[in-house]
Structure 1
Amino acid sequence: MDHQRTIATISTALEHTGGIQAMFLSGSHATGLADTYSDIDFVMVAEAGATDAVSALWRDAVAQTGEIVLWWDRTTVPVLINAITADWTRTDVIILKPDQMGHQTQAGLKPLFDHKELHRTLAKAPSPAQPNAKKLRYQIEEFIRILGLLHLAVGRAEYINGVLGVFHLRAALVELMIEETSAPNRGGILHLNRLITDEQKAVLTGMPAPVPDRDSMIAAHLAYAAAFLPRARMRAQALGMEWPERFEEVTWARLGKTLSIECPYDRD
């Protein structure tokens, strides 16, 4: 079943159900950024909130769109239900009480039905995200900490698990690049292409692979350090954030003593 039919089927199934006040699309289907590969995000407003009875109503509605092969019912977030049907259509719903709608905005929701006209009571758009120096400080310190663990992984010859450090460093670099672009509507994890620039993509695609041997693991850590740390310094300077200079200094000193490697960028 295509997305529009899925949306219409679920909406029709619940529109005249007692206790269900409104149904909205959220995520990419609300902002006009959806494609064939998008999941379908809903926000449902129920008088009773995310009860077992409301969950059962939602399951019955989703089942009308196809065989349910995965059902996560309020397992990670107490108001969130995730489902996948046999054709791999993914539907997520957040079930809220009317008084829990305060964090929603008109720009982030597309009404399917709205019996109480809740949509017009919402703020038109979210406040612009502000740079977060505290978050950046943590990201930088965590990057340096993981970089410093390289000497443990090499010392123990833990190359299979050691490459996990490369994935953590890569994730930190990607997050920093997204923050550099301040891209709105970030979406899910598989929306990176529209969030970063061609220059940033070239940096990421040029990174070495996380191969589980000593030389490759060291080379990958150094490559990510050379890509991340100068960018992070510029970002920190722009936000007026103090750089963890001493932490980075002793980390490079430790890596130099144990692995005979040097900082791959000009720290001045």
Structure 2
Amino acid sequence: MNNATAITTITRALEDKPDIRALFLGGSYGVGLEDAYSDLDFIAVTASGPTDAFASLWHEAVSQTGEIVLWWDRQVKPMLINAVTADWLRVDVQIVTPAQTAQLTRGSLKALFDHDRIYDDLAPTLAVSEPNLRRLQWQFEEFIRILGLLPLAMGRHEYINAVTGTFHLRNLLIDLLIEETAAPNRGGALHLNRLITREQRDLLEALPALTPSREAVVPAYLAYATAYLPRARRFAQSLGIEWPGRLEEAMWARLKNELAIERPRVAH
């Protein structure tokens, strides 16, 4: 069953249920950025909240779109149900009470039915959020901390763990790139291409793939350091965040003393 038919099927199955006061589409569909690969993110407004009774109604509705092969009933979050059908239709629903709809905005939703005209009372859009300076400070320090663990991985011959370390460095770099663009519609984890620029994508694509060997680990860590640190330092300066310079100095001194790694010029 295609997404459009699934949306109609679920809507018709629930719109006459008294406890369900409204059903909206969120996520990519809510902001009009869906494509053939988008999942279905619903927001259900119920008088009683995320009850077992609602979960039963939701299961019955989703079952009409196909055989359910994955069902996470309020496991990840107490107000979230995740489902996947046999033809890999991904359907999520967030269950909120009318009082909790104040956190929603019209710009991020598409109304499927709305018995109490809740949509009309929502704010048009969310206010533009300022960068989380405390989290950014942690991210800068965490990147440097992971670099400082390189002698440990080399000394213990933990090259598989070093690959995992690179995964963390890559995620921190991606987080920084997204912060640089300040993309308004972040979407889910699988929407990176629309969140970063062509220059940023070229940077990521040029970074080496890492294999668990001593010969590959050190150059890869240095490549990530060279890509991340100058950008992060400039970004910190633009936001008035004090750069953890002493931590960085100690990290480079450790790498030089234990692995004879010189600090790249571009990282200054």
Q: Which of the five TM-score ranges fits, normalised by the shorter chain?
A: over 0.9
Q: Distance in 2 between matches of 1:263 and 1:116?
A: 62
Counterpart residue identity of residue 36, structure 2: T
In 2, Cα distance between equivalents of 1:99 and 1:134:
30
Identity score, percent? 56
Partner of 1:221: 221
CA contact under 8 A between 2:133 and 2:241: conserved in structure 1? yes
Contact 1:230 1:265 in 2 (8 A): no
**Match of 1:83?**
83
SS of aligned partner of 2:126:
coil
Q: Distance in 1 between matches of 2:161 and 2:132?
A: 32
What is aligned with 1:209?
Answer: 209
Moved over 2 A (4+): 265-268
| TM-score normalised per structure 1 | 0.98
Q: What secondary structure does 1:163 align onto?
A: helix
Output the amino acid matched with 2:254.
R
Does the CA-based 8 Å contact 2:178-2:196 persist in structure 1? yes
Match of 2:264 in 1: 264
Alignment-derived partner of residue 68 in structure 1: 68
Contact 2:208 2:223 in 1 (8 A): yes
Could you list the per-position Cα deviations for residues 221-259 of structure 1 after superposition, in whole angstroms to 9, with x for gaps in the alignment? 100000000000010000011110100000110011010
1:186 & 1:17 partners in 2: Cα distance?
Answer: 33
Q: Secondary structure at the match of 2:91?
A: strand
Counterpart CA distance in 2 for 1:239 and 1:155 is 38
The within-5 A match list for 1:141-160 is: 141-160=141-160
| SS of equivalent to 2:246 | helix
Provide the rounded CA distance (Å) in 2 between the counterparts of 1:14 and 1:37.
Answer: 25
**Residue in structure 2 matched with residue 102 of structure 1 by the alignment:** 102
Q: For residues 63 and 249 of structure 1, what CA distance do their matches in structure 2 show?
A: 58
How far apart are 1:83 and its partner, in Å?
0.3
Separation of aligned partners in 1, 2:47 and 2:262: 61
Structure 2 equivalent of residue 197 of structure 1: 197
Give runs of aligned pairs for residues 1-268 of structure 1, distance below 5 A.
1-268=1-268
Contact kept? 1:210, 1:216, Cα under 8 Å: yes
Cα displacement (A) at 1:19: 0.6
Native 8 Å contact 2:226 2:266 kept in 1: no
State the shift of 1:144 in Å: 0.4
Give distance in 2, aligned partners of 1:111 and 1:187.
18
Q: Relative to structure 2, which stretch is displaced further, 74-83 or 125-134?
A: 125-134
What CA distance in whole angstroms lies between the structure 2 residues aligned with 1:161 and 1:15?
Answer: 51
Give the residue type in structure 1 aligned to 2:78.
P
> In structure 1, what is the Cα distance between the partners aligned to 2:145 and 2:248?
9
SS of residue matched to 2:11? helix
Cα distance in 2 for residues equivalent to 1:139 and 1:257:
25
Q: For residues 99-157 of structure 1, what are the alpha-carbon distances to aligned partners after superposition, in whole Å with 9 as ceiling and x for unaligned?
A: 11121101111100000111111111000021222111110000001111111000100
**TM-score, with structure 2 as normaliser:** 0.98
Structure 2 CA distance, aligned partners of 1:263 and 1:81? 48
Give the RMSD, CA atoms, in angstroms.
Answer: 0.9
TM-superposed CA distance for 1:267, in Å, is: 4.8
